Amino acid sequence: MVTCKLGDKEYHVDYIKGRAFREISEASKMYAKVCALAAKVEAGEELTEEDQKLNIQQALDVMVRWFCVLFNNQFTPAEFYDNYPVDNMMHDVGFAILMVNAQTTQTLTEFPMTPTARKGKTRT
């Protein structure tokens, strides 16, 4: 079972359905773009014109809409944004994207992920 706690509400899915994998393409592309941009910034590299066109808000919206699909649309993107801790948001959604892409969803248990759940996992 995978759980997502948003504020005082909890949402559960018994397993990750095939629809989450089917619908992942755009979220995966956006996550890759955000990661590549972050790596350039961290390395002090100059951003290209194409890099500067990336709208982080739109990229995040694509990823969050997909995360809602992951939980069978039991909550809306607005409910996610209003209740998910910002410190965990990008890492947790990104980790979910990576695990569904790799078809290793047994690693997904709870969101927001606890520090224990993150232990040993690296950011990509």
67-to-18, 26, 27, 45, 97 alpha-carbon distances in Å: 13, 12, 9, 31, 8
Side-chain-side CA neighbours of 66 within 13 Å: the count stands at: 29
Report helix, strand or coil for 28: helix
39 domain residue, yes or no? yes
- Residue 43 tokens read as 């390395």
124 domain residue, yes or no? no
123 domain residue, yes or no? no
65 domain residue, yes or no? yes
**What average pLDDT does the segment 5-14 reach?**
97
- Amino acid, single-letter form, for residue 30: M
69 domain residue, yes or no? yes
pLDDT above 90 covers a percentage of the chain that reads 81
For residue 121, is pLDDT > 60? no
For residue 122, is pLDDT > 70? no
Specify which residues 4 forms β-bridges with: 11, 111
Look at the chain and report how many structural domains it folds into.
1
Instruction: Tell me which residue range forms the domain holding 98.
Output: 2-118
DSSP per residue over 46-115, as a string?
PPPHHHHH--HHHHHHHHHHHHHHHTTTSS-HHHHHHHS-HHHHHHHHHHHHHHHHTT-GGG--EESPPH
What gap in Å lies between CA 116 and CA 28, rounded to an integer?
25
7 domain residue, yes or no? yes
108 domain residue, yes or no? yes
pTM > 0.95: yes or no:
no
97 domain residue, yes or no? yes
